[in-house]
Amino acid sequence: MDKNILGIDWGTSNRRAYLIDEHGACLAEHEDGQGMLAVGGRERFGASLAGLLATMGVGAEVPVIMSGMVGSASGWQEVPYLDSAVPLQRLPAHLVPVADADWAGRCRIVPGYCYRSGAAVDVMRGEETQLLGAVALGHRDGWLVLPGTHSKWVLLRDGLIQAMSTYMTGELFAMLSAGGTLSSMMGGDASDAEGYAIGLSQAGRNEPLSNTLFRVRAGVVSRSAPAAQAPAVVSGLLIGAEFSAAARALEQAGGAARITVIGSPALAARYAVAAAHFGLQCEVLDPHRVYCTAISQFINQA
């Protein structure tokens, strides 16, 4: 009998679901805007999941594995973080059943990770599943980068998290675009290559970010720089600040100056350009393949 499983990456704003067979092949997929915020409360997650299953035509015999913000304090059920000392390949042994009586025997949530280094604390929810997929695909060592609203840089050694840093790159770009003195200049093309390179170069000089961001505005109002280029410069500054800090961490950790990026094609391409600017080799993994591979690892436990 075929063993299929439904994996759901349930984020803050979006939800992606994949019906996976035991070999990691994707049989069907669905994406919608029914993220945690859209669901509208803990008591509504069950109904939202039922609607998803009906839309995808997934039968009652198929187990469901969920990762991401569905396991946060604001999600369906808060699931405690695992300590980073737990190897990624042990994740299937730590799945948490949903307490809702209607779903308890069928649905499980993947816990996130908490990383501590002295007084510094960092956390992830959702990215751990992608990291498991990367490990299953043979990427057990080195720096893995997961760009997005909160960009994660994770150092793996034989499938174990050795270091982790989160950068609020995407969130800051969204905030600067939505309000404040830069917002009126942020309607242009953020993919402008020249503007992006300017931002990366400024960030590479380790100039204070709050100062370089203000200088974007100063350049426009003084007519020293085109307003249409501002979003790309800001993008370069934010991603460049991330790379500037991470490059120092890479140097301190030793090893090859290379990273592996797991991200959407457009975002991964921007990170590849930044990697080249900072002298790093960059390999890009398809996030859909990585996630499907990860979900296949849970079949026996589900």
pLDDT score of 251: 74
Return the domain boundaries, the chain: 4-138, 169-285
Q: Does domain 169-285 have CATH number 3.40.50.1220?
A: no
Question: Across-strand partners of 6?
Answer: 19, 64
Copy the structure tokens of residue 112. Answer: 């996130």
pLDDT score of 40: 87
Q: Name the DSSP letter for residue 187.
A: T
CATH code of the region 4-138:
3.30.420.300
Query: Crossing angle of helices 265-277/230-253, nearest 10°?
Result: 60
C-alpha dihedral over 139, 143, 148, 152, to 10 degrees? 120
- Alpha-carbon gap, residue 119 to 93, rounded angstroms: 29
**pLDDT tens profile 268-300:** 999 999 999 999 999 999 999 999 999 999 987
Amino acid at 198: I
Whether the Cβ atoms of residue 10 and residue 69 lie closer than 8 Å to each other: yes
CA 234 to chain centre: 20
Burial class (CB in 10 A: 0-12, 13-18, 19+), 151: buried
CA–CA distance from 105 to each of 21, 48, 63, 91 (Å)? 20, 17, 9, 19
4-138 with 169-285: one CATH topology? yes
**pLDDT tens profile 124-141:** 999 999 999 999 999 999
pLDDT score of 105: 87
Q: What angle do CA 109, 127, 66 make, to 5 degrees?
A: 20
pLDDT score of 254: 66
User: In the chain, which residues have pLDDT < 50?
Assistant: none
pLDDT score of 301: 65
Strand order in the sheet with 96-97: 26-32, 15-21, 4-10, 64-68, 107-109, 96-97
The CA-based diameter of the chain, rounded to the nearest angstrom, is 70
- Alpha-carbon gap, residue 40 to 75, rounded angstroms: 9
